[in-house]
Structure 1
Amino acid sequence: MNNKPLLDYINKYVNLTIEEETLLLSKIVNRNYLKNQYIVQQGEICKSANFIISGCTKTFHMDLEGQEHIVMFSIEDWWTSDLGSFITQTPADFNVQCIENTQLIQFTFDNLEALYKEIPKLERLFRKIVERAFVASQKRIIRNFSLTAKERYQIFKNTYPKIEQRVPQYMIASYLGVTKEFLSKIKSQITQNQ
């Protein structure tokens, strides 16, 4: 598998020496998942932080009625996992499932902790990743409370145009907290107003 996208991503934030890159690559696991396969399942402990080389995943919570509540999609050069479970090593609240065949680079909890000790600047990088995830989560909560479904859809469409082309409409509806019929109605209103 090509590890260059991961190294390029990391080097945007911190500069690694050749020795540090070699050490980092010795601590990763390359994995291929098939469409519909789970990377993390609700109730299990999330064992890895996952960098996507190719493919697309959804992160969702399944409620007691069997209803999916999608909170995130992830594509190339993004991270995916149940971050809370990974950090605390406690059972996951979320599932992470592949929407497409997906290639990942995985960091186990122990290997990442070892890398933090051996390459301290990686701890700064992962702090930045967690901070960005937290900010994105906070903004999404505010949007869900204060914006209409139509406004949320337009933000989704403008912010993630590559994702909309790859994800079924019923999943986008779940992400927005609406039915697929209501999403269809929103889309037709937008088309009529253009």
Structure 2
Amino acid sequence: MKDTFVHDFCKIYMNDISQESIDKFNNLLSFKEFSTNEVIKVDPLKNQKFYIIVDGIIANYSQDEKANKEYIRAILFEKHVFINLTGLDFVEHISTDYYKCLTKVKFLVGDLNDFFNLAQNSVELFNFIIKLNHVSIYYLQNRLDRLSLLDATNRYKILKKRIPNIENLIPQYQIASYLNITPVQLSRIRKKMYSI
């Protein structure tokens, strides 16, 4: 199962990647499972990991410690890759970021330094890292555009298109947090959408 998943994952990002490069990438990865509500804690200054979601839903949280509030920045699911950058010195953080499993989640986990070292000897894997970075930036830009350009109803419709059964997987307050609205506002949006 792991080999097939990694092959399909690599082909999504680089259709012409060779089987040799896929096998090298696959050898970097180990399988992990996390329970619902489990928080992924990584110290990026010591041991930076990257994660590929095999199954389940995870959220990137931002916590305003002064206001004692949590906000969901992103909801990620199957075949998404992410890196926890919390703790890097070059930016002053106004919030604490972390990843939390909203459901039971299966991951493939690799060491980022090992990936970079491998890519130094392979143009193909170096290009693969660049593609992964481009996609991450693209998703971030899309998220910012949606927050600034779309109303909550349209943001909710996009989320439903990405994860049609989202209401059956995570609580309403988490969906509302991701949409940057209150649970009451989400209830009104859902009532209006489904009463038509």
| Partner SS for 2:141 | helix
Report the alpha carbon displacement of residue 113 of structure 1 after superposing the two structures with TM. Answer: 0.9
Q: Is the 8 A contact 1:48 1:107 kept in 2?
A: yes
The two structures have a TM-score, normalised by structure 1, of: 0.83
Note if 1:7 corresponds to 2:7: yes
Q: Is the 8 A contact 1:173 1:180 kept in 2?
A: yes
Q: Is the 8 A contact 1:40 1:94 kept in 2?
A: no
2 CA distance for matches of 1:127 and 1:164?
34
2 CA distance for matches of 1:143 and 1:2?
34
Are residues 17 and 100 of structure 1, via their aligned partners in 2, closer, same or farther at CA, if it must alter by over 3 Å? same
Residue number in structure 1 paired with 2:60? 59
Cα deviation code 1:46-91 (max 9, x no counterpart): 7211011122211110112221111111212111333x459x6879
Name structure 1 gaps, 5 residues minimum. none
Q: Is the 8 A contact 1:57 1:74 kept in 2?
A: yes
Residue number in structure 2 paired with 1:135? 138
1:116 paired residue among 119, 140, 160: 119
1 CA distance for matches of 2:142 and 2:17?
32
- Cα-Cα RMSD: 2.6
1:186 paired residue among 165, 179, 189: 189
Q: Is the 8 A contact 1:99 1:167 kept in 2?
A: yes
2 CA distance for matches of 1:118 and 1:157?
42
Residue number in structure 2 paired with 1:102? 105
2 CA distance for matches of 1:113 and 1:15?
20
The two structures have a TM-score, normalised by structure 2, of: 0.82
| Partner SS for 2:120 | helix
Q: How many percent identity over aligned positions?
A: 21
Residue number in structure 2 paired with 1:125? 128
Report the alpha carbon displacement of residue 108 of structure 1 after superposing the two structures with TM. Answer: 1.0
> Aligned partner of 1:155: which letter?
I
Relative to structure 2, which stretch is displaced further, 117-126 or 53-62? 117-126
Are residues 186 and 141 of structure 1, via their aligned partners in 2, closer, same or farther at CA, if it must alter by over 3 Å? same
> Aligned partner of 1:69: which letter?
Y
Q: Is the 8 A contact 1:6 1:77 kept in 2?
A: no
2 CA distance for matches of 1:58 and 1:167?
11
> Aligned partner of 2:194: which letter?
T
| Partner SS for 1:73 | strand
Cα deviation code 1:143-170 (max 9, x no counterpart): 2223222222222223432545422211
Q: Is the 8 A contact 1:81 1:96 kept in 2?
A: no
> Aligned partner of 2:103: which letter?
E
Are residues 124 and 162 of structure 1, via their aligned partners in 2, closer, same or farther at CA, if it must alter by over 3 Å? farther
Residue number in structure 2 paired with 1:38? 39
Residue number in structure 2 paired with 1:72? 74
Higher helix share: 1
